Amino acid sequence: MDALACITSKQQLESFRVEFLGKKGRLTQVLRGMGSVSPEQRPIIGQLANDIRLFIEEQMDTLLLQLEANELEVKLLQEKIDVTMPGKRQRIGKKHPLTTVLDELVDIFIGMGFTIAEGPEVELDYYNFEALNLPKGHPARDTQDTFYISDNVLLRTQTSPVQIRVMEKKKPPIKIIAPGRVYRSDTVDATHSPLFHQIEGLVVDKGITMADLKGTLEILCKKLYGNDTKVRFRPHHFPFTEPSCELDILCPSCNGSGCRVCKSEGWIEILGAGMVHPRVLERCGINPEIYSGFAFGIGLERITMRRYGIYDLRLFFENDLRFLQQF
């Protein structure tokens, strides 16, 4: 079987099988011509042909096993791995600093009994302004200029609309925080961005006072900046709270003496807050004669910048690995 001895691949072996044992193969043609053989010779030739077929099939099976073994050996040699070579280190991602601080804030508020509420970023003018005591033409709207999709649809400027939606659907007591992205038509610089993040809180129940607001925010600051943190409440004005205030912490860099971090003021502004305006409660179907509440709003970027000593807000959004890998 010189033809079998020359075969070096499965493809060649298959061609050999077709040539000799196929429907039109040589041995098949011999068997088809048995009709022309004399009756005396037919059994002899038929037996000889079957023996030849059996021999060829045995030789082919043996050769196939050998070819497969050779292919496996070649494949193993080609795929050989040098286990002594140093591997490629897999880069593992990290949390973004904004996400890290947000998770910490959420844990703090959940520990104080708050639940998380969410709402749409594409909001109606009513929920973003009017329900918050900011009717059309109100001058305070100028400080929250945003991106309008139509006259009554816009990108929310704060997460306060979530508070309105919750108060419309849920009866007091209410104790929620509303974290999320917000948008304002601001020029990008070191302290402004058209996209940023807020965490707003709302508590509504019977007998809620300014003392509850102060106690909650003092606990928050001590959890964030340490038990020795000193806070200061200043009167302020927000259309949706009355009375209103802003919360400052004593500058941790200079301990109140004045430095670059606090712009020589000794105190650093952290957030705005106040008692929910009675008109806001009324709009949501809550009787302000029975219930009262407080609300506050925290700028996530501001808190994160204070936490890590970052002085340019744009770094949060530029996706520069040299910056992000530091956290």
Of 8 and 124, the one with more pLDDT: 124
Residue 87 lies in a domain: no
Give residue 209's identity as a one-letter amino acid code: T
Q: Are both 124 and 259 inside the same structural domain?
A: yes
Q: pLDDT at residue 144 above 80?
A: no
- 218 φ, ψ (degrees, to nearest 5): -65, -40
DSSP 277: P
Residue 86 lies in a domain: no
Residue 6 lies in a domain: yes
Q: Are both 189 and 262 inside the same structural domain?
A: yes
Which pLDDT band holds residue 1 (cuts at 50, 70, 90)?
Answer: low
CA of residue 144 relative to chain centroid, distance: 28
Residue 90 lies in a domain: no
Residue 84 lies in a domain: no
Mean pLDDT of all residues in 123-152: 84
Q: Are both 152 and 278 inside the same structural domain?
A: yes
Residues 163 and 126 sit within 8 Å (Cβ to Cβ): no
Q: Are both 209 and 298 inside the same structural domain?
A: yes
Residue 113 lies in a domain: yes
Q: pLDDT at residue 26 above 80?
A: no
Q: Are both 319 and 202 inside the same structural domain?
A: yes
pLDDT for position 84: 83
Among 14, 43, 78, which residue terminates a domain? Answer: 78
Angle between helices 210-225 and 97-111 (to 10 degrees): 130
Burial class (CB in 10 A: 0-12, 13-18, 19+), 167: buried
pLDDT for position 121: 94
Task: Pull the structure tokens for residue 13.
Answer: 């072996």
Which region holds residue 285: left if phi is over 0, alpha if psi is between -120 and 50, else beta?
left
Which pLDDT band holds residue 37 (cuts at 50, 70, 90)?
Answer: low
Q: Are both 238 and 136 inside the same structural domain?
A: yes
Q: What is the pLDDT of residues 244-282, one digit of tens each?
A: 999 988 887 788 788 776 778 888 888 999 999 999 999
Residue 108 lies in a domain: yes
**C-alpha closest to that of 221 among 234, 233, 209:** 233
Return the CATH number at 174.
Answer: 3.30.930.10
Q: Are both 55 and 118 inside the same structural domain?
A: no
Among 78, 113, 142, which residue terminates a domain? Answer: 78
Residues 278 and 288 sit within 8 Å (Cβ to Cβ): yes
Measured from the Cβ of residue 29, the count of other Cβ atoms closer than 10 Å reads 10
Contacts of 309 (CB under 8 A, 6+ apart): 261
Q: Are both 65 and 213 inside the same structural domain?
A: no
Q: Are both 46 and 116 inside the same structural domain?
A: no
Q: Give the CA diameter of the chain.
A: 125
Residues 261 and 253 sit within 8 Å (Cβ to Cβ): yes
Give residue 133's identity as a one-letter amino acid code: N
pLDDT for position 32: 65
Q: pLDDT at residue 43 above 90?
A: no
Q: What is the pLDDT of residues 217-245, one digit of tens each?
A: 999 999 988 888 889 999 998 889 999 99
Residues 315 and 113 sit within 8 Å (Cβ to Cβ): no
Mean pLDDT of all residues in 24-45: 69
Q: Are both 185 and 105 inside the same structural domain?
A: yes
- What is the percentage of the chain residues whose pLDDT exceeds 70? 92
Residue 89 lies in a domain: no
Mean pLDDT of all residues in 118-130: 93
287 is in which domain, residue-wise? 97-324
Task: Pull the structure tokens for residue 197.
Answer: 């993040």
Which pLDDT band holds residue 88 (cuts at 50, 70, 90)?
Answer: confident
Count of domains forming the chain: 2
Q: Give the predicted TM-score (pTM) of the model.
A: 0.69
Q: Are both 320 and 278 inside the same structural domain?
A: yes
Q: Are both 120 and 249 inside the same structural domain?
A: yes
